[in-house]
Amino acid sequence: MLSQKIEKILQEVQKPGRYVGGELNSVIKDKNKVDVRYAFCFPDTYEIGMSHLGMKILYSVVNRLDYAWCERVFAPDVDMEEKMRENGIKLWALESGDSLDEFDMLGFTLQYELSYSNILNMLDLAGIPLYSKDRTELAPLVVAGGPCACNGEPIADFIDIFMLGDGEETTVQLVDLIRKHKKLGSPKIELLREVAQLKGFYVPSFYDIEYNADGTIKSVTNKETAPEKAVKAVVEDMDKVYYPESFVVPSIEVVHDRVTAEIFRGCIRGCRFCQAGFLYRPIREKSPEVVEEQCRTLCESTGYDEISLCSLSTSDYTGLQPLLTSMLKWTTEENINVALPSLRVDNFSDELMEKLTEVRRSSLTFAPEAGTQRLRDAINKNVTYADVMKTVNMAFSGGWTAVKLYFMIGLPTETLDDVAGIAQLGQQVVDEFYRNPDRPKGKGVQVSISASSFVPKPFTPFQWEPQDTMEQLEEKQKHLYASVTTKKIRISTHLTPTSFLEGVFARGDRRLSKVLELAWKKGCKFDSWDDHFDFEKWMEAFDEAGLDPSFYANRRRDFDEILPWDHLDYGISKKFLMNENKKAHESVTTPHCRIKCAGCGANRLNGGKCDARSEA
């Protein structure tokens, strides 16, 4: 129930639907009849957060427990925040309208490094101390998970517990532990000691960091009950793990407003730039029968008329053909669109094209990532020029006239010739359209090229590489635009200051907590939004903290340097990553997992099992 104070200010802000709750399938419980209250906090706007699959899964995971209640919280936009501060209103959860300081656990999802300032802002709006050391009571416990938890060091001083890896099972474990310690009346330290011993959890306050004179890490020392390395959690069986039967249906338009069905976790490819491809290993597939049943159930419970089959590389799913054959029988009849994001150009088959032509046509999206074969080999993309041309020809023959191609600028070993190669490949795709005798007649082609700036990330072979400076990236962007010679190609690039800051926080250490606090106090928030990002304030914060951001972003690390995340175990062996890095500098590829196991080590966290090896 929203208070009268909140209802009054809703009339004075844009999109009040972001803040009222009451959506279809939202879960309302009696707070007096539950033992644990969990606020799932998404550090961005409602429209972004309500598109996130992880939130949908964990919301349902907790709410199926009769003794726990999970509610949703999103970052209020600046107009709402202003009204909240003016009227002394604390940040509240959508389901109950209660402020966050009434909850046992606040769980922040870390999807993007530039959302960190919003975490501090949300804690402050709730009247909760920012630093973990200043929150001495058992509740509220501040927890964080998601992909950026693989190096949460830049925000470690603010977080009580990081959840590493898959969260479906560890979330229930943590809720049960909070319930137990609440009943016992335990101090916070007792809960943290028990949590630290469990797989999938990392308690940062139980690790002391010592630095060398040059700013690199000298040692990481575990204390209390913490293990030498905190190990990520892995869901073993994707068919048996819990998946929601309903999603909360948003009351306003959001970014991805549809049913999302996860078909497998992990990736067989081993692209050397791709953090997700390594973090989510080992590969675990869902059976087509389970995926289809989940899609049917969600369409019925939500009323959506679009399904997105979600994975890191959808066309690598071994059950894709039988799944589509079976699903299209009822989705076509019921006018439900099936979307296949994350398609690869090297296994886009005639059969898949045939299936796609049975559903609504939109633009096809592929990711060659680099403009020349040498650089594609260096990043282990394992895609050839012939693959690209074969695939776009197939698409044009199937009636498509729009193709979107994803590339990166600033990849290790890249030259200006590689950058020009992006425009040249786009031109060759345009030319291929007009050469194709089966193309749609009377129509032109549109090739959209998105060129993002490469950011080296932890737990990838490029974790030691320097990021290109902003000046280098800007030079390459100009060269790309200058290399385009036709209006049939549309280019989009990313702002280099945001990529620079992302690079700093991706591989940063605990000293950045001070920078983050200083920047937030200067007004930094919603840093992933161009109209809010203030690079000068961030640089002032670094200066006041006495830290050089280029130390984190633009410096090559030695293989023997202790990295800020070395005391976390995501299954991938460091030796494997080093070997892949060396091969990148020689432009030597590694076959994907179904051709030959490269021995990355991730399967040891799953009892030796990896679905990519099932055909071996």
Least confident of 66-75, 194-203, 303-312: 303-312
At residue 364 the predicted structure's pLDDT band, cuts being 50, 70 and 90, is: confident
Nearest by Cα to 164 from 195, 118, 210, 123: 195
Helix, coil or strand: residue 182: helix
CB atoms within 10 A of CB 215: 13
What is the pLDDT at residue 3? 84
For residue 63, the surrounding DSSP H or E stretch is: helix 53-63
Q: Is the pLDDT of residue 615 over 50?
A: no
Q: Is the pLDDT of residue 343 over 80?
A: no
Residue whose entry in the numeric block shows the structure tokens 């927890």: 143
Written in H, E and C, the secondary structure of 419-455 is HHHHHHHHHHHHHHHHHCCCCCCCCCCEEEEEEEECC
Q: What is the mean pLDDT of residues 539-566?
A: 98
For 467-524, write each residue's pLDDT tens digit.
999 999 999 999 999 999 999 999 999 989 999 999 999 999 999 999 999 999 999 9
Tell me the C-alpha distance between 9 and 332, whole Å: 45
Q: Is the pLDDT of residue 330 over 60?
A: yes
Q: What is the mean pLDDT of residues 200-209?
A: 98
For 39-68, write each residue's pLDDT tens digit.
999 999 999 999 999 999 999 999 999 999
What is the pLDDT at residue 365? 80
For residue 322, the surrounding DSSP H or E stretch is: helix 320-333
Q: What is the mean pLDDT of residues 301-311?
A: 94
pLDDT over 90 percentage in the chain: 88
Q: Tell me whether the omega of the peptide bond preceding residue 140 falls within 30 degrees of 0, making it cis.
A: yes
Q: Is the pLDDT of residue 614 over 70?
A: no
The burial of 252, by beta-carbon neighbours within 10 Å (0-12 exposed, 13-18 middle, 19 or more buried), is given as middle
Asked whether the beta carbons of 453 and 494 are under 8 A apart, the reply is yes
Q: Is the pLDDT of residue 359 over 90?
A: no
What is the pLDDT at residue 366? 85
Q: Is the pLDDT of residue 547 over 70?
A: yes
Q: Is the pLDDT of residue 419 over 80?
A: yes
Helix, coil or strand: residue 294: helix
What is the pLDDT at residue 186? 96
Nearest by Cα to 543 from 568, 515, 523, 567: 515
Crossing angle (nearest 10°) for helices 116-125 and 512-521: 60
Q: What is the mean pLDDT of residues 308-325?
A: 91
Q: Is the pLDDT of residue 578 over 90?
A: yes
Q: Is the pLDDT of residue 73 over 90?
A: yes
What is the pLDDT at residue 350? 66
Helix, coil or strand: residue 46: helix
Q: Is the pLDDT of residue 30 over 70?
A: yes
Least confident of 100-104, 320-324, 342-346: 342-346
Q: What is the mean pLDDT of residues 176-197?
A: 98
**Greatest Cα pair distance in the chain:** 75
The burial of 124, by beta-carbon neighbours within 10 Å (0-12 exposed, 13-18 middle, 19 or more buried), is given as middle
Helix, coil or strand: residue 84: helix
Q: Is the pLDDT of residue 352 over 70?
A: no
Q: What is the DSSP string of 228-287?
A: SSEE-B--S-TTTS---S---B-SS--SS-SEEEE-EES-SS--TT-HHHHHTPSPEEPP
Phi, psi of 69 (to 5 degrees): -135, 120
Q: Is the pLDDT of residue 185 over 60?
A: yes
pLDDT over 70 percentage in the chain: 96
At residue 347 the predicted structure's pLDDT band, cuts being 50, 70 and 90, is: low
Torsion, CA 455, CA 461, CA 464, CA 467, rounded to 10 = -20
At residue 355 the predicted structure's pLDDT band, cuts being 50, 70 and 90, is: low
Tell me the C-alpha distance between 421 and 452, whole Å: 15
For 101-151, write each residue's pLDDT tens digit.
999 999 999 999 999 999 999 999 999 999 999 999 999 999 999 999 999
Between the CA of residue 442 and those of 9, 403, 434, 438, 439, what are the distances in Å?
53, 17, 11, 12, 9
To the nearest whole number, what is the mean pLDDT of the chain? 94
What is the pLDDT at residue 398? 84
Residue type, 344: R
Tell me the C-alpha distance between 550 and 528, whole Å: 19
Q: Left (φ > 0), alpha (ψ -120 to 50) or beta: where does 205 sit?
A: alpha
Written in H, E and C, the secondary structure of 358-396 is CCCCCCEEEEEECCCHHHHHHCCCCCCHHHHHHHHHHHH
At residue 570 the predicted structure's pLDDT band, cuts being 50, 70 and 90, is: very high
